[in-house]
Amino acid sequence: MLTETIKNFVGRLFSSPARGPERLRREKHGIDRRNVSRHAIKVCEVLQQAGFDAYIVGGAVRDLIMGLEPKDFDVATNATPNEIRSLFRRARIIGKRFQLVHVVFGPEIIETSTFRAPASDEQETDEHGRILRDNQFGTHEQDAARRDFTLNALYYNPVNEEVIDYHRGVADLKKKLVRMIGDPQLRYREDPVRMLRAVRFAAKLNATIEPASLAPIKQAAHLIENVPASRLFDEVIKLLTCGHAMECLEKLREFGLASYLLPYLDDLMSNPEDRHFIDMALERTDLRVRAGKPISPGFLFAAMLWRMVDKRWKQGVYDGLPTMQALIEAADRVIDEQSGQMAIQKRFQGDMKEIWFMQPRFERATPKSIWRMFEHPRFRAAVDFLQLRAAGHEVDSVHAQWWMDLANAEPEERSPMIDAYQQRNRNEGPGAGPARRKRRPRRKPAGAAANVH
């Protein structure tokens, strides 16, 4: 314990600013106030008018300096949670590890936190050193020291448009350097998710992880197993939806983290066809992210795990199982094995299975079943997934396009399309559209006598 305390002190000593914080005016940091959430500005204004310090902090400041659009805006202040809540009509205190206040403005929530104190031996940790409870308030400087990376320890005052930089984070941003504040080995032990955040920032910003911050990651990678499943899942979603998903996966593999998150990844990435399918899926995800469109975690993980499901499905059919039973067993087995490393939330598992289980129905749909499929809540997602499979040469592209055209058609256009498909199917047989379902001959019970008419 004494050794850890000394390391902690030394790390913070050398990471602390020697000349105090830099205060950068607008011409130095380049943030355009018009790009800042008006609700975040309002929270800062209300807190400052009440006599408190208040700043927009962290990722929003980082992204604004880099010319990116922040996903959300957080505020840090020296007001306590109860003091914050008392100033806003719609505000609630949340959090166990560290209390926060959610200030609600319609659909936008401004997460507002009180400055935190440095980690101490008195804080509750698990046997691996991960902090479990962290409700100690501190000063502005202490809060900056508690931030994980220098590029996240930036504070923007929207009232006077000044950026306060305690750890030279703006300089690191310009150099595209991801650098840990304090002793990296200790900071990763305190919160192993910081390793995943380092990967995400490096990929998103096309940056390099500073050597001292990178060195402990492979050795500490196993600590990921101690992170609660729900938090780990959230962090992986952030990795896959940061707009640079494939780069994140490559870095996870390079740094020894992938095996603790996605057990199939190394096998899939080593197979050119499997890698191509994942690459296509993630490229389409990146395009949606950059276009500001929503991302479905269920669809994303359905694509990530599909090739393993498909292989198990084909093996099940080869072993004599009926098509749907083989697919169901393959899906359950792959999800169970994935959950052994990182559990996917149940609601997203349901979405994944529905997307997968609709794939055989596209191959042998009857006109009656087509109308039923339209009513399925995952119909459009399943059609999009069929398009992805067609791009991977798993199914006929004309067949997949027919379904996409049908999904995009106006309601009054669908009936003629289905009638035309049915007619073509009768005249030309399989291949013109979704094939008619063939009725299997009924087997006679063993020893039964033939009917005589």
* Catalytic residue check, 74: yes
Does the annotation mark 148 as catalytic? yes
Which residue reads 């999904």 in tokens? 407
The catalytically annotated residue of 63, 134, 148, 183 is 148
Which structure tokens are listed for 316?
A: 């099940």
What percentage of the chain's residues is helix, strand, coil (to nearest 5)? 55, 10, 35
Question: With 0-12 CB in 10 A as exposed, 13-18 as middle and 19+ as buried, what is 357?
Answer: middle
User: What are 80's two structure tokens?
Assistant: 């306590």
Q: What does the alpha-carbon distance between residue 100 and residue 269 come to, in Å, rounded to a whole number?
A: 40
What is the rounded distance in angstroms from the CA atom of residue 287 to the CA atom of residue 296? 13
Say how far apart CA 154 and CA 366 lie, in whole Å: 59
Measured distance CA(285)–CA(290) in Å, rounded: 9
Q: Which phi and psi angles does 279 have, rounded to 5°?
A: -60, -45
Query: Token pair for residue 210?
Result: 């500073």
Closest CA to 394 of 276, 229, 301: 276
72 belongs to the catalytic site? yes
Tell me the C-alpha to C-alpha distance, in Å, between residue 304 and each of 46, 132, 352, 360.
Answer: 45, 31, 10, 19
Question: How far is 198 from 184, CA to CA, in rounded Å?
Answer: 11
The token duo for 301 is 């993980």
Enumerate the active-site residues: 72, 74, 148
